[in-house]
Amino acid sequence: TDIAAEKWHTISAMWYELTTSGDYLKRDTSGYGANFYYTAANALIVRENATVALVNLSSGNSTYVNALTSNSTKRSNLITEMISFCETNNFDGVDLDLETFGTADMSAGQYTDFKTLITELGNALHAEGLILSIEVPPIWNTAANTESGSGDAWDGNNSQGYYRLVYSDLNTLPVDQVVVMAYDYQYDYS
């Protein structure tokens, strides 16, 4: 209800997550937060206070993500659910927040499966006049971070070599909006 006092450009409501088997689970009980799990009333609050209202599917577990992306039935079920949700709640589209892009989490074949999900979901959303937003890590193309100082976790861990995702791949995928998860840059790295 805190968002009702403001008018936001984009709100991504985190109301879906992946299960261990790669199926979607709707966060629609009070166990997912005291006052902002999915309800029709909460969806209306989002819709009325955002220029762009998106429903978010999130997971940071590579096993869950790979179980989804490798299975055509699970992908199809997810797509059907996302479109139904958007149409029922008058949302503008989907924000896909699958944070498993590390090379240790995603093989080349699994990355191909991920791009298949993006293609299928994006095309299906576009056919209904909806948009696809995806969340991606901040990636730079050098071998290591060159901030002053050394020995911290950012020296080598956040370069292109660490991630399977390549930004230029997004040029050929049906993605309307990219959200770079740059909150890790909240500290001064010079």
Percentage of the chain with pLDDT > 70?
A: 80
Q: What is the pLDDT of residues 74-109, one digit of tens each?
A: 999 999 999 999 999 999 999 999 988 888 888 999
| Closest-CA residue to 97 (of 122, 133, 43) | 133
Phi, psi of 178 (to 5 degrees): -120, 130
Residue 185: pLDDT band by 50, 70, 90 thresholds? low
Six-digit token pair at 58? 């999130």
DSSP 74-141: HHHHHHHHHHHHHHHHT--EEEEEE---BTTT--HHHHHHHHHHHHHHHHHHHHTT-EEEEEE---BS
Residue 122: pLDDT band by 50, 70, 90 thresholds? very high
For residue 152, the model assigns a pLDDT of 47
Percentage of the chain with pLDDT > 90?
A: 61
Q: Which residues contact 130 (CB under 8 A, 6 or more apart)?
A: 83, 86, 91, 92, 93, 94
For residue 101, the model assigns a pLDDT of 83
Q: Which residue has the higher pLDDT, 137 or 110?
A: 110
Residue 114: pLDDT band by 50, 70, 90 thresholds? very high
Q: CA 98: distance to chain centroid?
A: 5
pTM: 0.85
151: three-class secondary structure by DSSP: coil
